[in-house]
Amino acid sequence: MDNIVIFGAPGSGKGTYSAALVDRFGYDHISTGDVLRAEIKAGTELGKIADGYIKKGQLIPDDLIIDMLASVYDTMRDGPGVIFDGFPRTIVQAKALKEMLHKRGEKISVTLNLIVSEDVLMERLLKRAEIEGRADDNETTIKKRFNVYYTQTHPLIEWFKKEGVLSEFTFKGDKDLMIKEIIEKVESI
């Protein structure tokens, strides 16, 4: 099966491009952010813990997110593939993903790194705040999330490169073009 990692800063369009890939290839989609927000809504133990971190724009501890991810992944093994959206976000998570896949005879097929300028990201997130009302989409928390992204998540790009799975896509103002480029890449794996 295909194991696709979609990677990028907050607001880079991971959810949007994942939806296009689900449409085209019938993949299952794991968005760790969506799973955590569902847990919060359902008032579970994990949700209660996650809520505090998300509101502050911080990452949930690695061990919690890794366990959650493995159990969701195991429900998707019969399909054509899985898109990992919002995971991994730290080197520890990346190594855990590699190991989790390896144990199951699988590996990362490709990582799609979405490159978008910071002013476009901020504009999108503020617009989304008005529509979706997410607790972490306000200017102060967005800035913290950017900071967390650059310090904890961005270094993963080098890791993906070393693993030989990195593929980069720069947003040039045209979403459909970006979708076309991403689909072409995934067709080639």
> Quick one: which segment of 8-16, 64-72, 120-128, 134-142 binds Mg ion (CB under 5 A)?
8-16
Please report, as residue ranges, which positions from 26 to 85 form the binding site for Mg ion (by CB under 5 A).
33
Q: Which of 19, 25, 28, 53 binds ligand ATP (CB under 6 A)?
A: 53
**Residue 15 in the binding site for Mg ion (CB under 5 A):** yes
CA atoms within 13 A on the CB side of 162: 9
Does 11 engage in binding with ligand ATP (CB under 6 A)? Answer: yes
The C-alpha atoms of residue 44 and residue 116 are separated, in whole angstroms, by 34
Judged by beta carbon, residue 29 or residue 89, the one nearer ligand ATP is: 89
Here the contacts of 119-127 (C-beta below 8 Å, separation 24 or greater) are 120/11, 120/171, 121/9, 121/10, 121/11, 121/12, 121/146, 122/11, 124/11, 124/13, 125/10, 125/11
Stretch that binds ligand ATP, among 73-81, 86-94, 102-110, 177-185 (CB under 6 A): 86-94
* Residue 101 sits in the site that holds ligand ATP (CB under 6 A): no
153 binds ligand ATP (CB under 6 A): no
Contacts of 108 (CB under 8 A, 6+ apart): 3, 5, 97, 98, 101, 160, 163, 165
Single residue of 7, 87, 160, 169 touching ligand ATP by CB under 6 A = 87
What is the nearest approach in angstroms of ligand ATP to the Cβ of residue 59?
Answer: 4
